[in-house]
Structure 1
Amino acid sequence: MGPLKREEEEQSIILISDDEAESTLGNSVLLVDPLEKSALEEEKQEVVDEECELMVTFCKQAKVMPHARYDCTIQPFERTECDTCSPLGKNADICNQCYCYICDKLASECQNWTTPSLCHCNAHNKSKFWKDQRDFALAGILVMFNLELTDIDADLRRGGSLLIKFIQELSVEYNKYLIGERIPPTQHECFCLPKLLPGQCNICRSRNMEVVYKYSGVFALVTSFLSQAERESPKAAAVMFLGAAKEIALHKDPALSWQNLGHTASLKIAVPCLLQRITTQLQRMLVLCDFPKNLYEKFVNFFQSISLPCHCFGFSNSFKEVVRYLRAVKCNDTKRLRDLRDKIPFYLCKTGDFLDAAHSLLFPINSLACCTACRVTPFQFEVYLKMFRTGSVPTGKDMLDSGPWITVGSPLKDGVLIKQALKLLYSNVSLYRNPKCWSSLIMTLGSSSFLEKSGRLHPLSLKEPPLDFQKGVLAASGGLLEELKAKINVCLPPAIFSPHFRHEACLILAVQAIQQMLFCDLPYLTSFLEIVLAFGSNFWALRLLLDHLSYEEHVLHGIVNLILRDLHCQKAAMLKLWQNLGPQYVGEFLCLFLTCRHKEMQSIGLFTLNIIMENLHMCPWAKHLCNFFHNAGLRHLPLGTAAHHEVSKFINIFENL
């Protein structure tokens, strides 16, 4: 290379930074003006003198590299969050290397560069609005699956492109269907029984004045598309199946009356048939294909979000088919298959088959090592009890859905409910030692079978049964509970669990089960107050439990300590609860503990009374509580020195007002 040519090339310097934050202009490319020779020469001199690692050894004419419009160093750019009305400042001005941030192509080729309400020239990477616009533009139709750009690979893009083409073709065919056609009476095929030749059936001939809407063309197009999807990779196929399901679920029959046209020509028959095929394929793919967890969840959520028309209500209750499939399918990925099979009891509840659901919780399927009950969480236990008790289920497709509840079948009988609930507790140690589960059981047994749409149970105030009845149930409970622990098919004695006191008998059996749990597993309990509160206004059942605990000194001492600790830690919550429950409940609660024959149990009542006296400003109902004490004669009962003193002190507060 000659000296002259080298001199012409040494015109400028391009410094490229890997980190935008290090650049004073916020750009990825920094151009140094070749005219500033003195400054450049000084920098070179400094580099040489100080012997730094960076040394400029070569210079050439500056060349502007491709960049987003907002990074242009030639044309100024103004940033706002989401201005799309018109170009801001000189944002519409470009150099020949400016790219559109949204379209990802040269700004000169962007068709929406200055289009009102779009104005891509204002887009930049510091705005959430413009970032979302870019994601939508790059993801295309896949954006409806809520996929991140990092989720999208070649298979998903292929599925998306095939789906777009299908939707365009489907739109044309569906519009033809909506127009309909008139068929001469002699050409009407007869679908009546017995089937007659065309033109001979008076019923079919009467349709010659009607517009006939045949879905056959749409059905053939969708069927062909689904067949194509079955030949694609799993990811592409899933996109195609899900997209097709959403499109055909939106189709409506414009006919004013039923038109008996056959299973492919009648929309109300064809659409459920197509959806059944799609669902079957998706079920198999979600079980057998190794989708990433994030993608799997997004596919499931998308399918659940599809709003089905009324003629697909029968299809929407496809939980039975799901259960049948999950019970029969085989898969090498045993953990994922087990997780899916754990949903079988919930799906059975959705069909209204609560008895089969209760049994399926406790029995393993095929070669699985253990039953679903081993993995039930306290929250799931509570939901199952609520469903079994009321015959209702949440409207969503998952137990975590917080939507309204609806009735779908008959609830379990009380005897079956208590047996299945106790079997669940005996099959899962973490449930058995969890006070939340025992409180859920007591609360459910003490509630009616009516359930509000919000999922709220209605507590019952059960009258205390005769003492002889209580003794009879307690006498039989020991053997029954041992048989339930051994997973023997127990039959509850009809004489004891009679229709007259079935609720009370179940509650007594649960009390006995709690007592046995406390004698063996008290050290594992972290709370006991919630079990006490779960009895509600059924204080006779709570008294029955406390009386039996008083025979074991170490158990009684442990329970009292747990309750006192709970009361101390939850003072604010208890004051709010008592405000809602009222003085009648609080009075009976206090009387129960203050009149206990065991002095240590009385300390719970005294502590509760002290909480109220320390927070009288938060207890406007306390005066009524004083009246309750008078009516109950609590002041004159032999409560003991400490209890008598505190009760008198409380009453005197209001008598002196």
Structure 2
Amino acid sequence: MMGTSGGSEEIIILSDDEDDKDTSCLIVEVEAVKKTVGVLPVSPQDEDLVVTFSRRPDVLPHARYDCPIHPFMPTDCERTAPMANNELICDQCFCYICDKLASLCGMWCCSGACHCNSHNKSDFWNDVRNTALLGELQRFNLTLSEVDHHLRNADTMLQSFRDELSALFSSIPLDQAMLPDYNINQQDLSSRYGPVLECVTLFLNKADKKNSRAAAIMHLGAAEEFMRHFQVLGFMGSSSAATTSETIIMLLHRVISSVQRRIVMGDITPLFMQKLQTFYQNRICFPADMRPLKNRFKCFIFGRNLSPVFCSLTIRPWQDVLLVSVLKGQNVSGFRKDKGKKDILFETISVVLLRTELLQLQSRYRELCRYLRVVLTDNTTLYQHLQDLIPFFKCKLGEFGSALESLFPPASPPASRFTPPIFLLYLRIFETATAPRLTVSQPEQLCFSGASWEPIKDAVPLKRSELVKFALKAQRCSLPVGSDPQCWASLLKVVCSPHGSPTALPVPSQQFLHESRDAVIDLLNQQGYNIQISRCFLKTYPDQALLLLVTGALGVRILQGSFSPALPVLHAYKDNLWAFQWLCEGMTSSEDRLKSFLKEITQESSNT
């Protein structure tokens, strides 16, 4: 670098080469840069601005350790006396423990407590705060952010229940609670423990009216209390109290069933559900002889098998990976490999019933069908009832073709368990493309007479030929359906008029009537549930052909044995007496059965 003296400019040469024309030589010229400071002009409005009043800003409510007026000295767990000036407060200081104004805190400077020293950086004071604000809810390992006014109300009710229950148990002498068998009878049991059971029942009734989370907390809290008290009395181990013990187990069953319902049907998060499950596992004490049954699905009390008592709270959340994949149709096997372990979709029947109910209420019928196909459960009878509803759920989707396939699978078809009312229900669904608005768990509930029927979205009624095929298949599958005159009469009403018209069908030619007899016999002689109606049979007189097919099947049924009442069948033909005559002509091979059938009609007509 070369420089000049005085105020002359400086030239900086970044090179040791004297040839300044070389590319390695860089010359930087430095010029003086005048800095200008912007000054805003004074406006006339500024000249008129005058400050007439000022005040200090308002101090918002705050914890004592955040007070802007009085300094705070934090300590970890000092309770004996106030530290430094921690007891000093302003008008807006709150007690961190009590969550109220410090001036209202009774333990602010109390020796052994000293809430004035509390702050949020200490684990000790945080535990004290949680205990004070959570109350009984701390046993559920809840955080303050999870607690709302519903849970606080539940906490208050639980504390009151505990006091009342303790008073009732205290009134029972310990020696009376463990009387031997020969000193106790049912009347003594009722008078001694009746108030206790009544108290528990009333509390559970109140809990049922709360929202999902509060109800679950109240039920489990109540279960902990009454199970603990009965264990202290030695009641559960006394064979003399078997009858009342069953009542206690039924109360426990009610608790578990209610909590299961809240978990599945309510808005309980997976984290909250996990805390409920942990509380159930760790806090509710079962008698020693029943501890292995705590998570089993049936409880055996004193060697007697009660009706199924579900004592498990192990429930998959709706967000469970396997459950979600099944509902979305991504998993059709019901199991997956998770870190080398096989995860199987197995749930208690109570949970399966609850999921079935909720999915129906949400009109998620497709997901419900997927779920019912693959889930495994512990009650095969109730599970069979649910699976028999899959065709109905498919009808609600408007998928009549798929519903028919579900009714007649090769093995154990649901149609084989049809009753006449269920058959008539499906016949109406397929004919009208409407369905009852119901939430059901077994097929018999579909026949509720008070249900309102509504159109099925995007559904198209079955063609008449498909409707007849369905009916004939169902009659083959189910003996009660094939033997019921009302089922035959309803089917005849469908095929006795042209597409719902009240008029009778035109009488076909004699040649067609003659040729149809052999064709009908061939169709009815088809084996199995799969009945195929040829196009040529329906070509000339399609409506009349279907009527003759149903009439031919009816004739076969009448020839098999007694058929009563017969009059509804005759009325179903309306003005199509030519078809009834065709029926009678086809039964001439068994004159005794024909005469018996006609005699039955005559007697029924004379009695009406």
The normalised TM-score by structure 1 is 0.42
The structure with more radius of gyration: 2
> Where is the helix percentage greater, Structure 1 or Structure 2?
1
The normalised TM-score by structure 2 is 0.45
